[in-house]
Amino acid sequence: MITAASTKTDYISDLQEARRRTLALVADLDDEQMIGPRLQIVNPLRWEIGHVAWFQEYWVLRYVCGRQPILANGDPLYDSATVAHDTRWDLPLPTKSETIAYMTQVIDEISRQFGESGSNDRPSSDAAYFLALALFHEDMHGEAITYTRQTLACRAPRLTIAEDSHADNQLLVQDVAGDAFVRGGSFIAGNTSEHGFVFDNEQQPFKVRVEPFRISRTATTNGEFARFVEDAGYQRRELWSDEGWAWREATQATHPVYWNRDNGRWFRRNFDHVVPLEEHAPVLHVNWYEAEAFCRWSNRRLPTEFEWEMAASCEPDSGRKRRFPWGDEEPTAARANLDSRNLGIKDVRALPAGDSAFGCRQMIGNVWEWTASDFTPYPGFVAGPYKEYSEPWFGNHKVLRGGCWATRSRLISNTYRNFYLPDRRDVWAGFRTCAC
């Protein structure tokens, strides 16, 4: 886990592990599959893995270390700030094997640069920031590769996951249905951690006041969402906002994107397999508009991101803010479904050891959770050196919280803000609701 006390060796070890994970995620795909069809919502994977390596080279080897570019044409190929998404299929991309050779050269050069002397020393604050940025950027793209494989109906990736001795704490023995009551009050929103790296959109921490509210103890399940679908939820105009109805009309959606009904039973596509719909698993691959319509149908609403953060973070008696719902201890397999350990979702009743102080389950891991909030800057926001991370997306994206099964545990915390356009259905996203 990267902290303010991490040494050069710690960073190198995590970067090398992230690179092994990235390569494992695409190991079974050939050059043609690594390009794939031209889709608005995903990248060609051969471009994506090359971009990951280029990003590390740009910020660590070139920006921090002052090195010359490894690829003469690297910037026009892989700079996501200047290479338009819909042109990435037309680029003269290297082959998969050539791209992997470039990726290997970059990580080897970084390892040599920071391992030659004083490897047990802490890097400078500048180097530490960009080493962490490069690491977390690769982690994010690793998750993107998993939902790209789902979008393209590839088989599930084959990953070697370290065993965890606490992995058996699976199902709850008492009922977790219903709402948790959060009595509201003031708390400091944003990242107040002393663990080192902080994303720019989590800064600057500031005081917010939240009115009392009730929030569901679990994410909305497939079974609950199926009842909305079966009650003609997609056909009832009164349940949808103007923007949501325009999306539904344009797509002619009648159920979540990977669902299918056969002989009176619901099924869903999971990578390249069709499986019976799991009643108690969280609904996923629903967009913000679908979540909003479900809320109107059930006389509920989405939580704001600050309500979500309070329910996940705060202790009702002490007012202390936790880094994770269960406390400040690092995630384990007993607390959260992260790191692709399960290669998919778990029952919403699983992992009681991860409950928040208010009794909310799985607020970290399993599925990202849409909130009611627009993605906007916190007061006093200052863009980080990688200015394209947050600032271009303020205003038209929605905030998601909590991470999913494919999110890396070193990346996520209660304050982490993810953001997607409200029509995205490809990502591993679901939601929980609040009482109106």
Q: Which fold has domain 167-221+283-436?
A: paralog of FGE (formylglycine-generating enzyme) (3.90.1580)
Extents of the domains making up the chain: 8-151, 167-221+283-436, 222-282
Q: Beta strands 259-262 and 265-270: pairing type? A: antiparallel
What pLDDT is stored for residue 171 in this prediction? Answer: 54
Q: What crossing angle do the helices spanning 8-25 and 96-115 adopt, rounded to 10°?
A: 170
Q: Show the beta-strand stretches assigned E in 184-247.
A: 185-189, 206-210, 213-216
- Work out the pLDDT band at 6, boundaries 50, 70, 90: confident
| Mean pLDDT across 10-34 | 97
In this structure, are residues 337 and 405 in contact, taking their beta carbons and an 8 Å threshold? yes
What pLDDT is stored for residue 186 in this prediction? Answer: 94
What pLDDT is stored for residue 165 in this prediction? Answer: 43
What pLDDT is stored for residue 166 in this prediction? Answer: 46
Indicate the DSSP class of residue 83. S
Residue for token pair 């959260």: 336
The CA radius of gyration of the chain, in Å to the nearest whole number, is 22
pLDDT greater at residue 390 or residue 165: 390
Of all residues in the chain, the percent with pLDDT exceeding 70 is 96
User: pLDDT digit string (tens) for 234-277?
Assistant: 999 999 999 999 999 999 999 999 999 999 999 999 999 999 99
What pLDDT is stored for residue 266 in this prediction? Answer: 98
Global pTM? Answer: 0.95
Q: What residues contact residue 84 under an 8 Å CB cut-off, 6+ apart?
A: none
- The H or E element that residue 113 is part of is helix 96-115
- Work out the pLDDT band at 149, boundaries 50, 70, 90: very high
What pLDDT is stored for residue 234 in this prediction? Answer: 98
Kindly report the backbone phi and psi dihedral angles of residue 164, in degrees, each rounded to the nearest multiple of 5, phi listed first.
Answer: -125, 125
First-to-last C-alpha distance (Å) of the chain? 39
Residue 129 has pLDDT above 70, yes or no: yes
Provide DSSP, 231-269: TTTTT-GGGS-HHHHHHHHHHT--S-TTEEEETTEEEEE
What pLDDT is stored for residue 2 in this prediction? Answer: 78
User: pLDDT digit string (tens) for 77-122?
Assistant: 999 999 999 999 999 999 999 999 999 999 999 999 998 766 778 8
What pLDDT is stored for residue 118 in this prediction? Answer: 64
Which superfamily, per CATH, for 8-151?
Answer: dinb family like domain (1.20.120.450)
User: pLDDT digit string (tens) for 158-176?
Assistant: 997 755 544 544 555 457 8
